[in-house]
Structure 1
C-alpha cells in the first residue's frame, strides 16, 4: 500500500526486453533507499513494482506484458520522468489516501490552463470508472493522491498547487498525455458491499448496481 504522496521524481535509465516482458532500471533522484530491501514495493507512476536489484542511485524491476498493456509504463522510454513512492509503513504519515498501486485504467489529459499560481487540468477517464469518481473525492493520477474538483460524466477536473507541480511529473502534462488512474479503494468496496448476496453470483455485464437497484434498496428517493 501507498499514500499517494510522491517522494521523488525518477528517470528511466534503461529498458531491457526479457522474454516478452520488460526490465526497467530507474534512477531514483532523491528517493532514500537506506530502508529498502530486495523484494520491497516501489510505486512507479502509480504502478506497484518489486525491486529486484538496487544501489544508492537506482533500482530495477520487472514489468509483465499485462502491466505494460494496461498502464502507461509501456509508453516510457529512456530519459522519461516518473513519480516514485516507497510502500508505506505503520509509521508513515497518511497525508494522501490509501493507494494500492493497482491501476484501474488509463486517463487522458484533455486540457490545462493556469489559475493564479495553480494549474487546472481536465482529464477524461474510461467510462467504466466514471461511477467511482466524485467531486471532493480522492483519485490517484500517476501515483499522486489528488482531490477531484469537478465531475462531468467521465471527465473530471483537478487543481494542482505549485508544490505538487514541483514535486511530481504533473507539470509536464499536456493535452493528449496518458495517465494511470486508480480510483478510491473505498468506492470499490462499497460497490461490492451494496450488492449483498448478489455478489456471490457471476455477471457478464459488469456491476449489477443500477438506479433501479439503489431505489429498491432505499438509497434513492
Structure 2
C-alpha cells in the first residue's frame, strides 16, 4: 500500500523487451535505502516488485496486463518517474490510500497559474466517471491529489510549488499520458450502489448503456 506522497523523482536507465516480457531499470537515491529483493515500489503510481538492486539502481518486471493499462510502456531512458516505497507500520500516513493498481491512463492537457499554485487539467476516460467526486482523492502518476473541479471529459487538481518541484509535473509536457488511480473507498461505494440498484430495470438499462453515471445516481437520489 502507498499514500501518494512521492519520495523522489528517479530516472529510467533502460527498458528491456523480449516478446511479451518487459523489465525496467531505474536510477534512484532515496528509495534504495534499506531496499530488499521482493519489496514493492510505486513507479508513476504502479506497484512493482523489486527483482534486483544496488545502492543507486533497481529493476522490476512488468506484466503485459500492467503495460496495457499504464504509461510504463511509453518510458524511454532518461525519462523521469515518480517513486514511492510501500508504507510500513512505523510510517506516518499522509496523502490517501493508494493501492498501486492503475485504473487507466489519462492525458495531461496543461496548467494555469493561480496565486501560489498551478491548476492542472487532466483528460480522463469515461470509465472513471463514477469514481470522481469533487474534493475527493485521485492519484495521478502516483501523486495524491484532490479533485478541484470535474468536467464531462476532464478534471482539475491544484499543486502547490513543492508538489510541482518534487514530482514529474515539473518536466512532463502537455499530451503526455498519466496513470490514474481513483480512490479505493469510492470503488467500494460504487460497487455497493450497483448491488443496491440490481433489479431496478430502468437503472440497469442505463448502467448497461453508460455505466454508473451521475444521471443514474441523481435519478435514484444518491446525489
- What TM-score comes out, normalization by structure 2 length? 0.88
Residues in 1 aligned to 2:49 and 2:216: alpha-carbon distance in whole angstroms: 43
Please give the alpha-carbon distance, in whole angstroms, between the structure 2 residues aligned to 1:138 and 1:213. 19
Task: Give the structure 1 partner of residue 2 of structure 2.
Answer: 2
**Alignment partner, residue 72 of structure 1:** 71
Instruction: Give 1:81's aligned residue.
Output: 80
CA offset at residue 208 of structure 1? Answer: 5.9
Distance 1:124 1:208, change over 3 A: closer
What SS class does the counterpart of residue 186 from structure 2 fall into? helix
**For 1:1-221, what aligned pairs fall within 5 Å after superposition?**
1-34=1-34, 36-196=35-195, 207=211, 211=215, 215-216=219-220, 219=222
Q: 2:88 and 2:129 mapped to 1: Cα distance?
A: 31
Residue 204 of structure 1: CA displacement? Answer: 6.9
Taking the aligned partners of 1:214 and 1:118, their CA distance within structure 2 comes to 33
Q: CA RMSD in A?
A: 2.3
The answer on whether the counterparts of 1:195 and 1:209 sit within 8 Å (CA) in structure 2 is no
Q: Secondary structure at the match of 1:82?
A: strand
Report the number of matched residues.
Answer: 217
CA distance in 1, matches of 2:216, 2:127: 18
Query: What is the rounded CA distance, in whole Å, between the counterparts of 1:93 and 1:64 in structure 2?
Result: 30
* TM-score calculated relative to the size of structure 1: 0.89
Say whether the 8 Å CA contact 1:103–1:181 is kept in structure 2.
yes
Is contact 1:9–1:29 with CA below 8 Å preserved after alignment?
no
Would the aligned equivalents of 1:191 and 1:209 in 2 still touch at CA under 8 Å?
A: no
Q: CA deviation at 1:154?
A: 2.6
